[in-house]
Chain A
Amino acid sequence: MKYEEALQQLETITRRMEAGEYSIDELTEQLKNAQKLIKLCRDKLTKTDEEIKKILAKNE
């Protein structure tokens, strides 16, 4: 999944939560889902950071 896609899904989940569109039963599941997305986004950021550093180090 692309970073932007994940972020968009996160925002959608947040918005729907705030609007109270989820049933109580759905809440837990959506929260788990959101946690997964957040982890994915963070991982991507970390990985990108590392790669940039690696690539630049190679060029020098």
Chain B
Amino acid sequence: MNTLSLYELNSLVRLTIEQTLNREYWVEAELAEARESRGHCYMELVQKEEGSNTPIARASAKCWRSSWMMIQPHFERVTGQRLHAGMKVRLKVYAQFHEAYGFSWIVTDIDPTFTLGDLARRRQEIIRQLKQEGVFDLQRELQLPLFCLRIAVISSEGAAGYGDFCKQLNESKFAFAAQLFPAVMQGEQTEASIIEALNQIYKSLECRVKSGEFATASESGEWRVESGEFATASESGEWRVKSGEFATAPESGEWRVESGEFATASEGAGQGDAVANSTLYTLHSTLNFDCVVIIRGGGATADMSGFDTLALAENVAQFPLPIITGIGHDRDECVLDMVSHLRVKTPTAAADILINHAQQVLDRIEDNEQRIVLASQNQLSTLNAQLSMLSQRIPPLFSLVRTREEARTQQLLQRMEKACDSRLIRSEAKLSTLSSLLSTLNAQFIVSHRHRLELLSQRLLALDPQRILDRGYSLTLHQGKAVRNASALQAGDELQTRLAEGTVTSVVTYVAMP
């Protein structure tokens, strides 16, 4: 047997291939690698064993610049993706064997609809899994807060879309506060980068007062935790202010524990002096966000592969704040859009949504304000009318009362006068009766006494001894007493004899007894 040179042998292979594989084939394969160099596209094709990662076939493929220039724009427009590792593709190839460079499939066409179908299948798989986990609809169950002004933005720094978004917000009449959480928005790092940004936002959400009162003096911009717990989910553990005050200077965004106790979950309780040693705790200048907006700058190529992953979808779906996506693409929605609270096409549309929402809330407030004012005015004027009607009725009512009361006192007075009069009349009548009675009685009394006196005087007149003496009788007295019996006298007694005129004194010489 002849010994061939390698060139001769390889020529033999080339001839054989050129003769037997002389046409074009459609092949399905997975891309293990895809890269561009000097306008050509170099790929590594692989077929893996069903259900495992073990390759059962492998080959290199090339797409020359002349073909690639035609294929690439069409493919990317239809699929919204660049060729990248892990992508399933359907390629039109013919075989080429070069003595110096070996075997390679030369790609003359790529079927984007196959890739699209595959992507859709994968998306369906992700959706199925999200639904199984029960997180698919979580975002749509959230509501944009009424005052949705503090916005966490996930976008690439300096992207035109982010600029447009901010400009739109700033030009509105509302006091939006957008804070950027930078992330890579295309390429392989998209997924991890956005998840990291979400985690950053989540951490800042955790820096909040979990319970208790929170008050601010608006002029000074000083925030005060008056009582309650303050916790952060920082890696060092949970910080807890048991009591005391927090203050922050709004410029620096630094939180200061001014007094009070604090405790960490890891180190146990510490006293106020421990706070004094490390006075500043930089938490976050913004305590909270109202919503998250994920936007992608305009002009970027339509590489959507980073937005169709399970991990990102899970993170977005379970995020506690409503997430608005504006990642701008023409084709069917991606998984990120499907799980987000709200999706719009462009960053400016996202800004419009927020502005409209704020406007609606403002309209609602103003509408209610107007209704309150109207209702109050109506009620006030009704009440005023009622009041003036009432007040008009008061004076006549009172004059009735007054008349009645005056009549009452008048009546009492009359009754009193009458009572007094009748009392006086009665008394006078009684008096006059008495006086007439008295005069009658007096007259009778006097007459009878006069009569009696007359009788008495007559009787007295009759009894006057002078008259007997005048008739010739005399009166004998012994020691001043009238002598009636001779036996009372003795001889020698001196007697006085009263005559009608004059008195005689004599001595008894003899007493003759009867």
Contact = CB atoms under 8 A, between A and B. Distances in A.
B432 to A, nearest CB: 15
Interface string B411-440: 011011001100110010000000000000
Given A42-B406, A52-B394, A59-B391, A10 B412 contact: yes
A38 B413 contact: yes
B409 A17 contact: no
B510 interface: no
Nearest to A48: B398
Nearest to A19: B419
B416 A31 contact: yes
A41 B391 contact: no
Given A18-B419, A27-B420, A45-B406, A34 B395 contact: no
Contacts, number: 61
Contact of A49 (B399, B413, B415): B399
A7 B427 CA distance: 28
B131 interface: no
B367 interface: no
Contacts of B388: 60
Interface string A47-60: 01100110010011
A46 to B, nearest CB: 8
Nearest to A44: B405
B412 A38 contact: yes
Grouping DSSP codes into helix (H, G, I), strand (E, B) and loop, the B interface class, with mixed when no group exceeds half, is: helix
Interface string B385-409: 0011001001100110110011011
A39 to B, nearest CB: 9
11 contacts: A7-B408, A14-B415, A14-B416, A24-B424, A27-B424, A31-B420, A34-B412, A38-B412, A45-B402, A48-B398, A49-B395
Interface of B: 387-388, 391, 394-395, 398-399, 401-402, 405-406, 408-409, 412-413, 415-416, 419-420, 423-424, 427
Given A27-B423, A41-B409, A59-B387, 18 more contacts: A10-B412, A11-B412, A13-B416, A14-B412, A14-B419, A17-B423, A24-B424, A24-B427, A42-B406, A45-B401, A45-B405, A49-B399, A52-B398, A53-B395, A56-B394, A56-B395, A60-B388, A60-B391
